[in-house]
Amino acid sequence: MRRRRTVLPLLLCGFAACVMLLQSRCTGSSAKDSISLFLNHHDTVNYVGMQECAGCHQDKVDSFLQTGMGRSFGVATAARSAAKFNRQAPIYDSWNDLYYVPFLEGDKLRLREFRLKGRDTVFSRTETLHYIIGSGHHTNSHLIERNGYLFQAPLTYYVQEGKWDLPPGYEQGNNIRFSRKIDMECMSCHNAMPDMEEGSQNRFRKIPMGIDCERCHGPGEAHVAQKRAGILVDTRKETDYSIVNPAKLPWSLQIDVCQRCHLQGNNVLRPGKKFSDFRPGMRLADVFEVYMPKHDGGDYFVMAGHAERLQQSACFINSNQGSALERYDRKLNFTCITCHNPHVSVRQTNTARFNQACMNCHNTGAGKKGCSEKPATLQQQNNNCVACHMPPSDTRDIPHVTVHDHYIRKPTAKQQGNPVITGLYAVNNPKPEEAMLARAYISWYEKFERSNMYADQAKALADRQDAAVQMHYLYATGQFAKLLVKAEGLSLEDCKDAWTAYRIAVAYDETGNLLQASEWYARAANLQAAHLDFQAEYAKSLLRLKQYADAARILEQILRADPQHEHALVARAMVQLAQNKVADARAGLLKVLSLNPDNVQALENLINLYSQAGDSSKASEMQTRLDALKQRRTTSRVSSSTTPGR
């Protein structure tokens, strides 16, 4: 609080200086100069929340809360959910032999995961769903919270088809169940700006309830302080630089406000940047770039690609070129807000509003070209421009969802077959730097597709970058000995990046130098103290070094933070075995199987424990489960390799 009291008077003084500077400039001042004057771009200006905005803009807040953005996130209750729960048939994941049934328990949403053997239930786990993510226009996905740590639940409700199914990305053997971490990249698009604990992947100190005003207007602390101080601006005549009004931004920066979230791909942060660093009115590519595959032939269309598709349209290209580059003019520029009022739900916007945006240019007036379609066809479509020129399409990445394609064009025949991928490109930067391209190719290879094309491009680019980028490439491609050569001369104290420290640790681990590996695991864990996976890897290295007391201490800290952390539970059982606490170890391993019946380490260790205790029946049961798991995984790999398009 002390910092805020100190900063605000300085900001108000700075604002007065900015106004004087503006008044002294000629009317032809550049957009770049003007944009830099927004007070809420300063990183000391805080977010104040939608309730502060409602004090003066209640009508806007009320209507916004009915939009998809306003309903993007909330507590998981029956009233908040768009889903149906009555007599829900179990959803079966054949790859993992698991069933899922959502149900209501009072007003709480619950999810049961189970496995059958014949008609007998041989495994069952039930979790409470804490949050709903998604407006209910297309989907409701669900999150689980444990002491501030957020994870995605393995079931989504698809509103348009009125059905439950696995979440996007969980299909075809990729169901990672309850372990997908929800990080800042995800939360900063699907919600107002959350407060995330430094040094963690997915622990949040404060979780807002839905996208709010400040996601498009920027943090409001300076604006609220000015208005309370009686500093008013007639926005009909001049710009209020205490807050961002996207409608007055140059069109390219206005588009960046929208494509901060309505742009799908692999987000690559610039070095030293965080996803929370972007504020409306900034250039998005100065914080991160969004990469997608380049396609030769075919037409690739993804769920959240609205901004990318719109910018391929002739309407967009022709209206936003030449002299319009440095400003936004409703009469000249064609952007997202030409059709969409962000304060009003799409469901409440009638077709005539969208059609009028088209007719403002494409009518039969002098010098303007109207629709060339036959009158009978126009009548059949109720003169609806969107029906023909933005047809609803099935997206490639999200099952059971149909959205309007924002690539506005004359109707064309659908191209057959899958497009050929030729590389990556930055959607929001036509001329990306080579260093960013290198990170993009490494990241794509590591996260999405381990093909030689991405690896070769990654190598060619990484060879010309700094040691950290080269080590990332060598880590991603499993070249651990070469990574250690690159790491020579880098001391523990000089390494300030947790992921670089972790990659060096893994390289030492993989090449058999456990002592050095443990030191680098410790460095990664110290740099990100709330990153539980880094802590677990450090603890496991201490276990292998037989430093049981230290390993046990770290593992207990992890399990206090997340009692269901599987790696920590298994490692603690191994420590207990080393300390001859056999009963405790057995109980711990059984707890692991109560969370994940397919944990190989737990099964193998229980087979040994039961065998040593002379309990052949239990040992045989665990062996049968392990054999079935291995058989299922072998079958899944064969099926995956023969599935078209994979």
* Per-residue pLDDT at 306: 86
| Domains of the chain with bracketed CATH | 1-54+211-244 (no CATH), 71-206 (no CATH), 246-363+373-432 (no CATH), 464-641 (1.25.40.10)
Count of C-beta atoms within a 10 Å radius of residue 165: 18
Task: Determine the pLDDT at residue 374.
Answer: 76
Cα–Cα distance, 272 to 575 (Å, whole number): 38
Of 13-17, 62-66, 228-232, the range with the lowest mean pLDDT is 13-17
pLDDT value of residue 279? 95
pLDDT of res. 305: 80
pLDDT in tens, 371-405: 777 777 777 777 788 888 888 876 667 888 888 88
In the predicted structure, residue 416 carries a pLDDT above the cut 70: no
CA distance 102 to 529: 35
Lowest mean pLDDT segment, chosen from 76-80, 390-394, 567-571: 390-394
Which of 66-80, 120-134, 320-334, 499-513 is predicted with the least confidence, judged by mean pLDDT?
320-334
Q: How many CB atoms lie within 10 A of CB 81?
A: 19
- Residue-wise pLDDT tens digits, 88-102: 899 999 999 999 999
Residues 6+ positions from 110 with CB-CB distance below 8 Å: 102, 103, 104, 126, 127, 128, 129
Q: Residue 17: pLDDT band by 50, 70, 90 thresholds? A: very low
Provide long-range contacts, Cβ within 8 A and 24+ apart, for 343-350: 343/60, 343/63, 343/64, 343/67, 344/63, 344/66, 344/67, 345/63, 345/66, 345/67, 345/68, 346/67, 346/68, 346/137, 347/66, 347/137, 348/66
Is pLDDT at 22 greater than 50 in this prediction?
A: no
Is the pLDDT at 590 greater than 50, yes or no? yes
Q: Is 150 helix (H, G, I), strand (E, B) or coil?
A: strand
pLDDT of res. 8: 46
The predicted structure's pLDDT at residue 325:
52
Residue 356 CA from chain centroid, whole number:
34
Question: Does residue 28 have a pLDDT over 50?
Answer: no
Q: What is the pLDDT of residues 41-57, one digit of tens each?
A: 998 999 999 999 999 99
| DSSP secondary structure string for all residues of 61-111 | HHHHTTSTTTTSEEE-BTTT-----TTPPPEEETTTTEEEEEEEETTEEEE
Q: Alpha-carbon distance 466 to 324, whole Å? A: 39
Burial of 396 (0-12, 13-18, 19+ CB in 10 A): middle
**pLDDT tens, position by position, 169-199:** 898 889 999 999 999 999 989 999 999 999 9
Contacts of 572 (CB under 8 A, 6+ apart): 552, 555, 556, 559, 588
* pLDDT attached to residue 459: 97
Instruction: List the structure tokens of 138.
Output: 């297309």
Residues 6+ apart with CB under 8 A from 86: none
Specify the higher pLDDT residue, 413 or 112.
112
CA–CA gap between residue 349 and residue 337 (Å, rounded) = 13
Report how far residue 379's alpha carbon sits from residue 362's, in angstroms, rounded to the nearest whole number. 17
The pLDDT-based confidence of 414 (bands split at 50, 70, 90) is low
Of 21-30, 149-158, 185-194, which range is least confident? 21-30
pLDDT for the residue numbered 36? 65
Q: Which of 71-85, 382-396, 457-471 has the lowest mean pLDDT?
A: 382-396
pLDDT of residue 299: 64
Would you state the structure tokens that stand for residue 318, as one six-digit string? 């022709």
Strands (E), 505-609: none
Other residues' Cβ atoms within 10 Å of the Cβ of residue 516: 19
Q: Which residues on neighbouring strands pair with residue 156, listed in sequence order?
A: 165
Q: Residue 644 pLDDT more than 70?
A: no
Directed axis angle between helix 452-462 and helix 467-476, to 10°? 160
Which of the pair, 625 or 296, is modelled with greater confidence? 625
pLDDT of residue 2: 37
For the chain, the average pLDDT equals 87
The DSSP bridge partners found for residue 292 are 425
Number of helices (H), then strands (E), belonging to the chain: the values are 25, 18
Does residue 11 carry a pLDDT above 80? no
- When mean pLDDT is compared across 141-155, 223-237, 411-425, 536-550, the lowest value belongs to 411-425
What is the C-alpha to C-alpha distance for residues 468 and 487, in angstroms, rounded to an integer?
9
Residue 93 has phi, psi (to 5 degrees) of: -100, 100
SS3 content of the chain, % helix, strand, coil (to 5): 45, 15, 40
Which residue, among 609, 573, 612, 611, has the nearest Cα to 592 in the 3D structure?
573
pTM of the full structure: 0.88
Looking at residue 533, what is its pLDDT?
Answer: 97
Closest CA to 258 of 211, 320, 324, 195: 211
How far are the Cα atoms of 203, 211, 250, 422 from residue 184, in angstroms, in the given order?
9, 14, 28, 30
pLDDT in tens, 126-145: 999 999 999 888 899 999 99
Average pLDDT over residues 251-265: 91
pLDDT at 506: 98
What is the pLDDT confidence band of residue 409, given thresholds at 50, 70 and 90? confident
